[in-house]
Each structure stands twice: as C-alpha cells, then as structure tokens.
Amino acid sequence: MYLTTAQEMRDLDRYAIETIGIPGVVLMENAGKAVARSLTDRLPRPGTALVLAGTGNNGGDGFVAARHLAAAGWKAVVWLAGPEEKLTSDARVFFQVCRNLGIPVVRDAEERRGELIRRIEEADAIVDALLGTGIRGQVRPRALELIRLVNEHRRGAVVAVDVPSGADTDTGALLPEAIRADWTVTFAYPKWCHYLLPAADHCGEVIVADIGIPRSAAEHRPPAARVNDPSWWREWLLPRSRWSHKGTYGHLLVVGGSRGMLGAAVLAGLAGLRIGAGLSTVAVPAAQEPILAAKVTDALVWGWPDDGEGRFAEDSVRILPERIDRFTAAAVGPGLGRFPGEGAWLRELLETLPFPVVLDADGLNILAEHPDALRARRGETILTPHPGEMARLAGTTAAGVESSRHTLAREWAEKTGSVVVLKGTHTIIAFPDGTQMVNPTGTPAMAKAGSGDVLSGVIGGLLARGIPASVAAAMGVYLHGLAGELAVRTSEHSLLASEILSQLGAALSRLASDRARA
Ligand SMILES: NC(=O)C1=CN([C@@H]2O[C@H](COP(=O)(O)OP(=O)(O)OC[C@H]3O[C@@H](n4cnc5c(N)ncnc54)[C@H](O)[C@@H]3O)[C@@H](O)[C@H]2O)[C@@H](O)CC1
Ligand SMILES: Nc1ncnc2c1ncn2[C@@H]1O[C@H](COP(=O)(O)OP(=O)(O)O)[C@@H](O)[C@H]1O
Ligand SMILES: [K+]
C-alpha cells in the first residue's frame, strides 16, 4: 500500500476525477459513508452525533456522514464552521442534501459558545470534519478554538475524517493543536501524519477506506512512499531447495563484541542464522575470543588483533583478507565500542569489504565523526541508526530527528547512496532514489537493549543470502517487528532481545502461511 502526502493525494483525486471521469461527489459520498459506517460498527446503539464541518471537502465528507448517521437512527446535528458561500461545489451538494432532509445545521458563531460546549458534552459521537489535507499554515483562531473545545469537553467517541483537524498531513506537526481522535478514517491511502509524531498520537486507530479511486491512478504516478507490507518483497522469500547446502545461503560476518559488549555481537550473529544465512562468523577482539567460543555454539568465532584492552587494534583489519572470500555480507557495529584509531580502522574495513554491509551502533557513531569512511565502499550499504545515532550523524538532537524523521532519512539515503533504516515506532526505510517505506510492525516491548543488535543480524543475514539491500532492509525490519510482536507472551515490559531472536522462525512461518492463504 502507498503512503501519500497531501499533494500526492490531491493529484490522485484529480486523476480519478478528471482523467478517469469518476465524479468528485461520488468519492465524497463513499468517504462520508465510510466514516458513518465506522461509527455505526463501533457504536451499534444510535445516539447523538455532532458533526463539525469546515467549508472545504473535508466538511463535505462530514455532511455525507451526517446523512448516513441520521438514516441509521442517530440524532445528527451539523455545526458549520464558516460561511455557506465558502463551501466548495461538492461540499455544497451534500450541505443542501442535509438541509433538504431537515438535518439541523447550526452556523458557528462566538456567541453560540455555550450551546457548542453543551452539544460537545452531550454528543455520544463527534465527527471531526473541520480540516483535512487542505489545511494551509497555522490553524486560524476560530478553528483553533473549536479544536480546543472538542478536546476539552468531549465525552463521547471522536472520529477524525481523513486526518485529525489541526495536524499537518505531511510532517505530523500540530498547527499548533489537533483534535484527539479515537479513530481516524482516511481515504484510499494512509498519509504521513498517521505515522509521524506528534500527529500520529492524535489519530487513534487508522482505518483506510476504499472510496473508489482506481488503482491505476497510483500506478500512473506512484507516490514516493509506501507502507512496508510483504506484498512489496514477498517473492524474495523462497523455500530452501532440497538440493541446497549451507553455502547456498551465504555467510554473514559480524564485526563487534568488544569487552563488555560481547552479547550484542552474539545476538547479531545468531539472528543472521535464524533468518536463514547458512553460516555466521562473529569477529571480535582476540582477548574476547575464548569467552565467545565458550558462549556460542551455532556461530563461528574469529579473534582479530586486540589493543590489549579488549578492543580492536587500530590495524586489526589487516587480518581480514585471509578469510574474506568466505563471506557474502557483513554486519559491522554490534558491541563495537569506541577505540583509538577507530576512524582509520572503519575506513579501511568498509573499503576492504567488497560485499553488502549493514552498519549499526558504534559503527554509526564512528561514521558520524569520520564521514569519509563510506567513500570507498564497493558494495551496497545499509545504515541502521536509532534517533540518537541519526542525531550524531546529522549534527542535530534526538528531538530534532523525531520532528523530521522522514525528511532526514530521505536526505541521508540520497546523500550517502545507502539505504537508511531510521529506527523507532514505525521505522522508516529510505532508499537512495528518494523513495521511502514506513514499517507497521513492532511493539514498545522492543524498546530494550539488544533489539537493535538482533535487527542488524537479521538484515545482515538476508544480505548474506544474496537479497538486494533495499529488499533486505524492508523485509528485515518487517520480520524483526513481527518477531517482537509474537515474542510478547506475558508482559510487554519483560521482553528480552533473545526472545525476539527465538521468534524469527515464527515470523517467517507466519509470512509463509499468509502467502498460502493469499
Ligand atoms: N475530491 C476530492 O478531492 C476528495 C476530497 N476528500 C476530502 O477533502 C479533503 C480535502 O479537501 P480540501 O482540499 O477542500 O481542503 P480541506 O477541507 O481539508 O480544507 C480546506 C478548508 O479549510 C480552510 N482552511 C485552510 N487552512 C486553514 C487554516 N490554517 N485555518 C483554518 N481554516 C483553514 C479553508 O478555508 C477551507 O474551508 C480531504 O481531507 C478529504 O477529507 C474526500 O471527499 C474524497 C474526495
Ligand atoms: N515503541 C516501539 N515500537 C516499535 N518498535 C520499537 C519501539 N521501540 C523500539 N523499537 C524497535 O526496537 C529496536 C531498538 O533498536 P536500538 O534502539 O538500536 O536498540 P539497541 O541498540 O539497544 O539494541 C528498533 O528496531 C526499533 O524500531
Ligand atoms: K478532519
């Protein structure tokens, strides 16, 4: 499924209306009907509905919803937040229909404040059809007042039409306040604000309703972003051939695991195997090797020259050519730590590795101080920063990253030619061609040390299997999130990264059984 900006959605609407010839009022009818339906599905006993309608097409959807609610036995009242003369032509059609049916339409005015508050308090359901994707700039004072009154006085359910009024569709910013909805019904495709904070936190559950915009509209000019669902990459998950052997599935090299951080490299190495790589070698500073060998039975271990302190020696990469031909991909960074000479070390390592690399954790922190380390890469590269690491890379703060997640991820993918996986709730995967994906899987239970190390190993393992970087990133992030969801058996507070690891197989088989059902 695609994910659109306000402009992309306008283009799709226009294509459906002008090129395909579907009348705008048909789309509006379908949109408003879907909103009313979402309400009657959730609240089967009819009550009082207050529809706050603006004068744009978002308001038009509201008039349609009011009519369908009235038909379902609800006592629907429309509160019109602007002069009739400003109604768009499509909205005007359904405004008139409401009038003809005798559905009360109250014109908003400051002196009706008391009445409005009473209606908000008494409503079993409020339909927020004030502002949709057509909002321009900060919300004007009167509309802001309405938004605040709803948030303050509502007692019943609140459904947002398309987007919560007051949210910026493209950035998820509040302008400066938005309706707090229990659910949001959006049309054709989700919008960025359904995934980006703070707006995402105002949407409640997001329902995507088909309003009759044919698929060919998006095929004609595809939006730049997509929701990361398996339909984009499922065909890469082939069953293992009966005639295959471990070499068929590649060999992952994990580089990390300095003193005190061995667990991170182990998680990555095992995750590579769990996701299907044939072999996995964990390369650590030599002093760590005996401990690692005692700890790990499923992966191979390799000690690299040590600096005497349980960290990599500055010139330790020289050992790599001895065995480099064995590997097909690398995950660099889990438990790597910081050490003297790290910049030159990373540059040499990334230059020497001829195959795809996923760079994570302190690998990214070193890169932030030595951006030229990527310059001599020969294979594909995937960067997997969490917001703190992204902040270091971009020279900003974690809060700065969170307020511009998709822009930063896109810029960094374009600038570095790498796939950027910006982690968090709804991880963003940005590709060098400017397109992006937003991930739907995962759980706050995964906000725990070690989760990221499992992800590096998962993506590394998929790369090792010969899956292209863009697919490995999307598939890896999806499966990692799904495994996390499946691993929450008891309390969401208690999940361990090793349990995500154990559920990777369940996540893979869930995909396989979904495919069988499809
Ligand atoms: N044919 C279409 O294009 C369709 C559009 N649909 C609906 O139409 C919406 C988009 O409609 P529009 O483009 O008419 O725009 P909106 O209805 O989202 O917003 C425009 C209205 O908001 C007011 N406004 C804009 N910025 C404001 C601000 N900062 N403060 C206060 N008021 C402000 C404008 O004066 C105008 O009345 C979508 O969100 C969706 O709900 C659906 O009906 C499906 C079909
Ligand atoms: N609230 C959340 N919802 C979904 N996924 C989450 C959430 N919090 C964390 N995650 C996921 O867990 C992983 C955490 O990675 P990271 O911050 O690098 O952890 P660490 O480095 O400690 O292992 C990421 O894949 C992230 O997307
Ligand atoms: K709205």
What is the domain-level CATH number for residue 259? 3.40.1190.20
Name the residue range of residue 262's domain.
242-517
Selection from 494, 499, 459 nearest residue 478 by Cα? 459
Sheet strands (E) in 270-310: 279-285, 300-304
- What is the total residue count of the chain? 518
Rg of the chain taking only CA atoms, in angstroms: 27
Residue to mutate (ligand 2; options 267, 423, 437, 492; most atoms within 8 A of CB): 423
Give a yes or no: residue 350 inside a domain: yes
Residue 162 token pair: 């398309």
* Residue 466 in marked binding region: no
Point out the ligand 1 atom lying closest to the alpha carbon of residue 132: 18
Residue 237 token pair: 């998950």
**What are the CA-CA distances from residue 22 to residues 17, 208, 439 (Å)?**
5, 20, 32
Q: Which residues contact 322 (CB under 8 A, 6 or more apart)?
A: none
What is the per-residue pLDDT for 434?
97
Q: Which residues contact 281 (CB under 8 A, 6 or more apart)?
A: 251, 252, 253, 254, 269, 299, 300, 301, 302, 323, 326, 327
Residue 53 token pair: 């309608």
Indicate which CATH number applies to the domain containing 109. 3.40.50.10260
pLDDT digits 0-9 by tens, 300-340: 999 999 999 999 999 999 999 999 999 999 999 999 999 99
Residue to mutate (ligand 2; options 332, 393, 446; most atoms within 8 A of CB): 446
**What are the CA-CA distances from residue 185 to residues 35, 48, 95, 180, 333 (Å)?**
6, 19, 20, 13, 41
pLDDT digits 0-9 by tens, 266-311: 999 999 999 999 999 999 999 999 999 998 999 999 999 999 999 9
- Judge whether 32 and 94 are in contact, CB under 8 Å: yes
What is the per-residue pLDDT for 295?
87
Whether the link from the prior residue into 321 is cis, omega within 30° of 0, is no
Residues 297 and 174 in one domain: no
For tokens 């968090």, the residue is 424
Residues 17 and 85 in one domain: yes
Ligand 2 centroid–CA 191 distance in Å is 23
- Judge whether 476 and 500 are in contact, CB under 8 Å: no
Residue identifier of the C-alpha nearest atom 39 of ligand 1: 132
Half-sphere exposure of 155 (CA within 13 A, CB side): 10
- Asked which of 189, 222, 255 is the last residue of a domain, the reply is 222
Point out the ligand 1 atom lying closest to the alpha carbon of residue 140: 30
Residues 269 and 352 in one domain: yes
Residues with CB under 5 A from ligand 3 (ion): 128, 160-161, 165
Ligand 2 centroid–CA 405 distance in Å is 15
Residue 12 token pair: 């799709």
b/e for 180-213, b at 16 or more Cβ within 10 A? Answer: bbbbbbbbbbbbbbbbbbebbebbbebbbbebeb
- Judge whether 338 and 309 are in contact, CB under 8 Å: no
One-letter amino acid at 30 equals N
Give a yes or no: residue 234 inside a domain: no
Q: Does 488 sit in the ligand 1 pocket, CB within 6 Å?
A: no
What is the per-residue pLDDT for 298?
96
b/e for 409-420, b at 16 or more Cβ within 10 A? Answer: bbebbeebebbb
Residues 246 and 314 in one domain: yes
* Per-residue pLDDT in tens (0 to 9) along the chain, 518 residues: 999 999 999 999 999 999 999 999 999 999 999 999 999 999 999 999 999 999 999 999 999 999 999 999 999 999 999 999 999 999 999 999 999 999 999 999 999 999 999 999 999 999 999 999 999 999 999 999 999 999 999 999 999 999 999 999 999 999 999 999 999 999 999 999 999 999 999 999 999 999 999 999 999 999 999 999 999 999 999 889 999 999 999 999 999 999 999 999 999 999 999 999 999 999 999 999 999 999 899 999 999 999 999 999 999 999 999 999 999 999 999 999 999 999 999 999 999 999 999 999 999 999 999 999 999 899 999 999 999 999 999 999 999 999 999 999 999 999 999 999 999 999 999 999 999 999 999 999 999 999 999 999 999 999 999 999 999 999 999 999 999 999 999 999 999 999 999 999 999 999 988 876 65
**What are the CA-CA distances from residue 63 to residues 32, 58, 189, 300 (Å)?**
7, 9, 22, 66
pTM: 0.95
274: left (phi over 0), alpha (psi -120 to 50) or beta: alpha
- Alpha-carbon gap, residue 159 to 31, rounded angstroms: 13
What is the per-residue pLDDT for 514?
81
Residues 355 and 421 in one domain: yes
What is the per-residue pLDDT for 518?
58
Residue 97 token pair: 């229909």
- Judge whether 317 and 332 are in contact, CB under 8 Å: no
> Can you name the residues that pair with 161 across neighbouring β-strands?
185
Ligand 2 pocket (Cβ < 6 Å) reads 361, 386, 423-425, 427, 442-444, 446-447, 449-453, 455, 480
* Residue 333 in marked binding region: no
- Asked which of 194, 222, 250 is the last residue of a domain, the reply is 222
**Strands lying side by side in the sheet with 428-430:** 2-3, 225-227, 436-438, 428-430, 419-422, 381-383, 357-359, 329-332, 251-255, 279-285, 300-304
- Judge whether 429 and 419 are in contact, CB under 8 Å: yes
Residues 98 and 199 in one domain: yes
Q: How many domains does the chain have?
A: 2
pLDDT digits 0-9 by tens, 13-46: 999 999 999 999 999 999 999 999 999 999 999 9
Residues 190 and 294 in one domain: no
Residue identifier of the C-alpha nearest atom 18 of ligand 1: 132
Selection from 379, 380, 315, 324 nearest residue 348 by Cα? 315
Nearest-ligand number for the alpha carbon of 14: 1
Q: How far is residue 448 CA from its own chain's centroid? A: 18
Helix axis angle, 469-487 to 504-517, nearest 10° = 100
Residues 313 and 210 in one domain: no
- Alpha-carbon gap, residue 277 to 458, rounded angstroms: 9
Residues 166 and 262 in one domain: no
Give a yes or no: residue 14 inside a domain: yes
Q: What are phi and psi of 491, to 5 degrees?
A: -90, 140
Q: Does 161 sit in the ligand 1 pocket, CB within 6 Å?
A: yes
Residues 164 and 98 in one domain: yes
Residue to mutate (ligand 2; options 359, 448, 451, 453; most atoms within 8 A of CB): 451
Q: Does 56 sit in the ligand 1 pocket, CB within 6 Å?
A: yes
- Judge whether 302 and 269 are in contact, CB under 8 Å: no
- Judge whether 373 and 346 are in contact, CB under 8 Å: yes
Residues 470 and 440 in one domain: yes
Q: Does 6 sit in the ligand 1 pocket, CB within 6 Å?
A: no
Give a yes or no: residue 237 inside a domain: no
One-letter amino acid at 457 equals G
